[in-house]
Amino acid sequence: MNNWLGLLICYGYIFAIIGLAEGLRRWRGYGSGFTRKVIHIGVGMMSWGLHWLFDSPWFFIFAAFSFMVINFLDWRYGFFAAMASSDRSNLGTVYFPIAAAAVAYIFWDTPPLMVAALMPLTWGDGLAPVVGQMYGRRQYKVRSSTRTLEGSLGFFVAGLIFTWLALWLMGGTPDISPGTAFFPALVIMLVTTLVEAVSIWGIDNLTITAAAILILQFWPFQ
């Protein structure tokens, strides 16, 4: 596909996800804590189509850094209610596109690893607070942040499923069988679950992804 057209589709898709989340907020009365995660997961899943949209990572990296600026301005001025956070110290929406750009740059030539590196952040971090809010009973604190064991379990299970699927189903090099894909996915999720549990101020969007990148870079798939 033409990269400029891919860029337009990329912007259109992301703003459509934001619009969907805003629609859910107004129609169903969902809080921004939920709608933020709708955006979080929806945008993260775009990684599955990046090689269809772009011939190289640079157009996507440009889009990611433009959204870093947009998200910072939204954090500062509150343009999108569906992305609002009750914690003003949380810059997670700013860190997310930085993490995505880094993954695309490092793993562009190995699509299964590129998508897998973003799945703990996309699905694990996306569902953890939702599961914690709905089912969380066993709380623990990390400085000023309160979390739940149930939320951490949701992070682990959701991330494991989608990291495994990404390593197995995503086309390109390396070609990984479902059995071979499971153990690295398990290791990634054990490590990133611990990393997420101790990360504060929204930096988990960076630390989770950094941990996944390091494991995938040194994993002997060949």
pLDDT attached to residue 85 = 72
Chain centroid to CA 20: how far?
A: 18
pLDDT tens for the chain, residues 1 to 222: 799 999 999 999 999 999 999 998 888 777 877 898 999 999 999 999 999 999 999 999 999 999 999 999 998 888 888 887 766 677 888 999 999 999 999 999 999 999 999 999 999 999 998 898 888 688 777 766 778 889 899 999 999 999 999 999 999 999 999 999 999 999 999 999 999 988 876 688 999 999 999 999 999 997
101-131: b (≥16 Cβ within 10 Å) or e: bbbbebbbebbbbbbbbbbbbbbbbbbbbbb
Q: How far apart are CA 116 and CA 122, in angstroms?
A: 10
Q: Quote the pLDDT of residue 134.
A: 84
Give residue 29's pLDDT.
78
Q: Whole-model pTM?
A: 0.93
pLDDT of residue 201: 67
Contacts 24+ apart (CB under 8 A), 67-74: 67/14, 67/97, 68/94, 68/97, 68/98, 71/96, 71/97
Q: How many CB atoms lie within 10 A of CB 52?
A: 9
- In this prediction, residue 130 carries a pLDDT of 87
Contact between residue 194 and residue 83 where contact means Cβ atoms under 8 Å apart: no
Give the pLDDT of residue 186: 98
The 8-class DSSP code of residue 47 comes to G
CA–CA dist 182, 26 (Å, integer): 40
Side-chain half-sphere CA neighbours of 50 within 13 A: 31
DSSP-assigned letters across all residues of 144-165: TEEEEHHHHHHHHHHHHHHHHH
- Preceding amide of 129 cis, omega within 30: no
